[in-house]
């Protein structure tokens, strides 16, 4: 073999493994789109990563995650969704953010989307059916809206003599707000109680909304199953304590932080399931054939310390049904 031919062959052999190595280093990208802030959802993002790892993907090792947070400004979501599409991510996850899910759906009809959503995904046009989504989106239907009547019933059981219940909703999220209020109004009429609806989408708006409920002499209040309010939970809990206003929330995060009561599905479990679904899609499954899941774990929490502060005696029937009582 001539010396020049040997060098050429050697050079080609050396180049081939380098190309293969470059291909091996290319990892799939998950786009994470949310309407809230990173700080308020840190423990839930950890649950999402856990689900991804159960599906065989570890961030920084064999998968990359591009995070986009709107920090409570839903108007930013379309541009953030477009950024992820431009990055050619392999899947977009939008856990517990209806506005983010709708923005992602509007931005792409081909990139798979995995959601957790409180509204009915069939009614708002995300999927054709729960069993066969038939599009590029699937995930978990949180049924947070459908639990509106259940939450009002628990609050009524706590305060049977209460005549007027306040309801705080986000006007910038009609996909949640409108069906939630419809459910509540039907339930309130059935028990002969009045609702006072207040709206807020900013910190100052929440201050004003709670002051309005106090001025209107609401006996207690509920909030819509809204990511914005989870982000602002410290503010809401502080105002409820200041005004001595009982409330029932939709997530245990509120009760853990000092809220009176909460009833809803487990966010930690749902974020983990979202990670698993995203991992399955990265392995080649088609979201059109992956059924929309329903929550299987619900939590009813009561904070006895807060009840004592508010001067409320929790009925034994409620204590008996609580999954957890915070002493």
3-state secondary structure 278-325: HHHHHCCCCHHHCCCECCCCEEEEEEHHHHHHHCCCCCHHHHHHCCEE
Q: Do the beta carbons of residue 59 and residue 88 sit within 8 Å? A: no
Average of per-residue pLDDT across 160-178: 94
**pLDDT band, very low/low/confident/very high, at 25 (cuts 50, 70, 90):** low
Query: Is 30 or 96 the better-scoring residue by pLDDT?
Result: 30
- For position 11, what pLDDT does the model report? 47
* Weakest mean pLDDT among 4-18, 111-125, 158-172, 209-223: 4-18
- For position 144, what pLDDT does the model report? 87
Nearest to residue 185, comparing CAs of 213, 211, 224, 217?
Answer: 224
Q: Do the beta carbons of residue 56 and residue 248 sit within 8 Å? A: no
Query: Is 9 or 304 the better-scoring residue by pLDDT?
Result: 304
Q: How many CB atoms are closer than 10 A to CB 20?
A: 10
Model pTM above 0.85: no
Q: Is the pLDDT of residue 193 over 70?
A: yes
Q: Is the pLDDT of residue 145 over 60?
A: yes
Q: Do the beta carbons of residue 255 and residue 154 sit within 8 Å? A: no
Separation of CA 176 from chain center:
12
Q: Is the pLDDT of residue 311 over 70?
A: yes
- For position 297, what pLDDT does the model report? 84
**pLDDT band, very low/low/confident/very high, at 40 (cuts 50, 70, 90):** confident
- Tell me the CA end-to-end span of the chain in Å, nearest whole number: 85
**pLDDT band, very low/low/confident/very high, at 109 (cuts 50, 70, 90):** very high
């Amino acid at each position: 073999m001539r010396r020049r031919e040997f060098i050429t062959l050697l050079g080609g052999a050396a180049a081939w493994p380098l190309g293969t190595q470059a291909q091996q280093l290319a990892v799939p990208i998950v786009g994470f789109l949310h309407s809230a802030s990173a700080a308020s959802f840190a423990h839930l993002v950890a649950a999402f990563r856990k689900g991804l790892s159960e599906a065989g993907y570890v961030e920084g090792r064999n998968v990359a995650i591009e995070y986009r947070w709107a920090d409570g400004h839903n108007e930013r979501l379309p541009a953030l969704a477009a950024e992820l599409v431009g990055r050619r991510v392999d899947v977009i996850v939008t856990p517990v953010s209806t506005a983010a899910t709708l923005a992602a759906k509007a931005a792409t009809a081909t990139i798979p989307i995995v959601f957790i959503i409180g509204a009915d995904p069939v009614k708002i046009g995300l999927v054709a059916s729960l069993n066969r989504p038939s599009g590029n989106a699937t995930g978990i239907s949180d049924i947070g809206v459908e639990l509106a009547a259940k939450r009002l019933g628990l609050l009524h059981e706590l305060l049977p003599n209460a005549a007027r219940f306040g309801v705080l909703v986000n006007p910038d999220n009609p996909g949640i707000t409108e069906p939630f209020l419809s459910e509540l109004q039907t339930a309130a009429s059935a028990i002969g109680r009045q609702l006072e609806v207040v709206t807020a989408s900013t910190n100052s708006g929440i201050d004003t909304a709670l002051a309005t409920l106090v001025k209107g002499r609401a006996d207690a209040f509920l909030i819509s199953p809204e990511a914005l309010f989870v982000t602002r939970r410290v503010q809401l809990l502080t105002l409820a304590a200041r005004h001595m206003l009982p409330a029932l929330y939709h997530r245990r995060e509120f009760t853990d932080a000092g809220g009176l009561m909460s009833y809803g599905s487990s966010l930690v479990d749902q974020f983990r399931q979202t990670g698993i679904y995203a991992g399955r899609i990265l392995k080649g499954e088609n979201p059109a054939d992956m059924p929309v899941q329903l929550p299987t774990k619900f939590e009813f929490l009561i904070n006895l310390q807060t009840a004592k502060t508010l001067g409320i005696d929790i009925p034994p029937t409620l204590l008996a049904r609580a999954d957890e009582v915070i002493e």
